Structure 1
């Protein structure tokens, strides 16, 4: 028994969806079989991302240079039988010297579950699952993975319900996912959280849209969120085993996907009008394209992604990075030709965000380079980013060191 427990904690295992972007030395990965035929097994994935960042945000009193633990995560799943699966994913985010706890008991020091779900196979290529899940709708980037991203980080506005109707981009609900040939789908019916980040009291903000429908209308009226994402794979198929979408395959696949998605939260937003509390529905629609192709004969590759999304949180809603209106977000990268294991991938990303409640639009542009020491398993990223919204633009330079096993 002790031998098996030791193996369990020492062996770090890699899900199939990540293998194509990982270290060539890792091979097909390792898993701990708990049955002779391998139909029952456990896999574990662990990763850490450390940031050193300079930001010239003059509106902040914080020191412009900061070291932070951007992500520290562990993901594990077990195939109980070929028809049953259980997955857990826990960790912490954005720990720095300002939010650390002296004895490790503060909110930013605590591990929490990002995902916990159980899944059943209904038919070949079709599954149903339930729990705290990441099978999100709206767009591909709304289900982006964080260990094989091409850019330094995700576009925050694409996680359009983060903290508003979900817990850190995860809903508690039931999902359906699968594919029919080259057509892939994911759909979910979820519970909306009651303690939204938008804690404003409608009585204190007359005629202002506030995303707290369940808090004020109750679960009968505003308790459910419906979402879905539908995608055609025109070339190679991607793995649909886990929900985390790759940002770059480094030329190991030929991918050209076109997607369409949406989200609907009835009575999700409330506003106080002439003493009465009124509700508005939250709706989101997006369409996107993802292309990742090898180029030439020396391991070069090109990656391009583009999405247009319209979010309606109610008339003239605005709260932090979220607002009623549309945005366009694009990324493009190129893996330079090389015959060596170490590879270089310069990239750029840009976003234009139009909010109906503001005169000025939000802009963001970034340029960076990935240095792959061993595929996505070990890489360094350096990125410069410029953001403009209102009177105070922000410039930042970030160096990231990441390792996952």
Structure 2
């Protein structure tokens, strides 16, 4: 790792020096403000580096019964690194592409000290037929189901990506990335991705242990292969598929309208006890989704634009499966007053049933604040009908992005409202109250 770090520092230093010394009138890298090292004269072979950091300053009104190292706390203010990422990738020959991404997620006051960086992506890819087909393998985010199963985190419109679309995040993958063989390409206006993945061991999961219960959980038995894919038809401008990560907002630079559909399937991925016995019932994992993405300038000379996204997902994780998700959860446990939500900021995000999701953003003209940039207010919501819950799960999120220099320098103010599910006298899970979370995020990217 020390040798790798030295090489990385040399690469970035060399790239910055090259970028600074190249004439803006002749260098595409300079115009785009990129850390880019050309491997041939025309720049078609290259190595490129990027950096991103998302810093959260947050106040969370915690779920009932939340504990912070044994002490009850109904309101927590914290600061954390939601995501820190470095990418190094490039086109080595006309046919060979490589992509690596490393960093860390969710470094907060309760994280282990000196937390190490880890690889999120590490793939090699070979171009078989021009843009029509490339085949690759490795640890990768070339995932199926829906658009934001692989979100481009630097251009997220709302407070966070719709996390329910990251169907197996850290259960049998590594922060969305899977050990896969994949094929991707564009056939005219049709963009596709297909992958076969080897699920990671549940024994090493940070989300769920190798347990079995009356309600469905991921099985810890040796897993069958996981198959997934996503297809989208691009009616207007074509989107890049150099990397698997799909933009949240183009800030008026493109006219995009896509309709997509995807799936994920794995045999005997789930298990639970049979009713009134300890016999094991094994069930398949199956998810299907359709979605639509629209991003278009209203007036190109002014720079204002709209962004909209909507998705429907049907998920079958087996009998009454529910997973609570609380990003960078500020609490460490829960006492006897706890609810189905669990501790901190968690709420039922993923489960067996149907989910509708939508978001909308409006970008004001580029000089709204003069040299200080412009604003992009947004709203988003997840509405789910999960089999285990008697009431719908409805999460609301709204805020504004202050785009100081596009997505390179961005300050976001967001508020999220989530439901709290508690058991009533009949033992059914219903909404008992709502809690909130206010976040200010500062993003810097290169």
Same structural fold, with TM-score higher than 0.5 when normalized by the shorter chain: yes
Q: Which residue is equivalent to 1:74?
A: 86
Structure 1 residue runs of 5 or longer lacking an equivalent are: 15-23
- Hey, what's the Cα distance between the residues in 1 that align with 2:260 and 2:176? 19
- Hey, what's the Cα distance between the residues in 1 that align with 2:253 and 2:366? 14
- Hey, what's the Cα distance between the residues in 1 that align with 2:420 and 2:259? 30
Matches within 5 A, 1:372-387: 372-387=403-418
Structure 2 residue runs of 5 or longer lacking an equivalent are: 1-6, 20-28, 69-74, 325-348, 422-431
- Hey, what's the Cα distance between the residues in 1 that align with 2:172 and 2:350? 12
Q: Which residue is equivalent to 1:187?
A: 194
Q: Does 1:348 align with 2:374?
A: no
Q: Which residue is equivalent to 1:164?
A: 171
- Hey, what's the Cα distance between the residues in 1 that align with 2:378 and 2:61? 22
Q: Which residue is equivalent to 1:282?
A: 285
Provide the aligned length of Structure 1 versus Structure 2. Answer: 379
1:322-355 deviation digits (Å, cap 9, x = unpaired)? 2101111110000112434511101010111111
Q: Which residue is equivalent to 2:440?
A: 399
Q: Which residue is equivalent to 1:365?
A: 396
Residues 399 and 325 of structure 1, relative CA distance in 2, 3 Å threshold? same
- Hey, what's the Cα distance between the residues in 1 that align with 2:265 and 2:386? 19
1:169-219 deviation digits (Å, cap 9, x = unpaired)? 1110101000110011000000011224321522xx2x321212xx22x2x
Q: Which residue, out of 278, 302, 305, partners 1:301?
A: 305
Say which SS state the counterpart of residue 149 (structure 2) adopts.
helix
Residues 5 and 370 of structure 1, relative CA distance in 2, 3 Å threshold? closer
The alpha carbon displacement at 1:61 in A equals 3.1
Q: Does 1:199 align with 2:209?
A: yes
Residues 404 and 209 of structure 1, relative CA distance in 2, 3 Å threshold? same
Q: Which residue, out of 73, 83, 103, partners 2:95?
A: 83
The alpha carbon displacement at 1:166 in A equals 1.6
Q: Is the 8 A contact 2:252 2:305 kept in 1?
A: yes
Matches within 5 A, 1:6-405: 8-10=11-13, 11=15, 27=32, 29-59=34-64, 60-62=66-68, 64-101=76-113, 104=114, 109-125=115-131, 126-195=133-202, 196=205, 197-199=207-209, 201-202=211-212, 205=213, 207-212=214-219, 215-216=220-221, 218=222, 222-273=223-274, 274-296=277-299, 297-320=301-324, 321-339=349-367, 340=370, 342-390=373-421, 391-405=432-446
- Hey, what's the Cα distance between the residues in 2 that align with 1:64 and 1:393? 16
- Hey, what's the Cα distance between the residues in 1 that align with 2:387 and 2:420? 14
Greater Cα offset, 40-49 or 282-291: 40-49
Greater Cα offset, 57-66 or 394-403: 57-66
The alpha carbon displacement at 1:360 in A equals 2.2
- Measured on the aligned residues, the alpha-carbon RMSD in Å equals 2.2
The alpha carbon displacement at 1:6 in A equals 6.5
Residues 48 and 26 of structure 1, relative CA distance in 2, 3 Å threshold? farther
Q: Which residue is equivalent to 2:427?
A: none
The alpha carbon displacement at 1:117 in A equals 0.6
Residues 39 and 335 of structure 1, relative CA distance in 2, 3 Å threshold? closer
Say which SS state the counterpart of residue 9 (structure 1) adopts.
helix
Q: Is the 8 A contact 1:46 1:73 kept in 2?
A: yes
Residues 293 and 142 of structure 1, relative CA distance in 2, 3 Å threshold? same
The alpha carbon displacement at 1:392 in A equals 4.7
Greater Cα offset, 158-167 or 338-347: 338-347
Greater Cα offset, 360-369 or 131-140: 360-369
The alpha carbon displacement at 1:25 in A equals 8.7
The alpha carbon displacement at 1:289 in A equals 0.4
Residues 45 and 179 of structure 1, relative CA distance in 2, 3 Å threshold? same
1:245-278 deviation digits (Å, cap 9, x = unpaired)? 1100111100000000000011100123234322
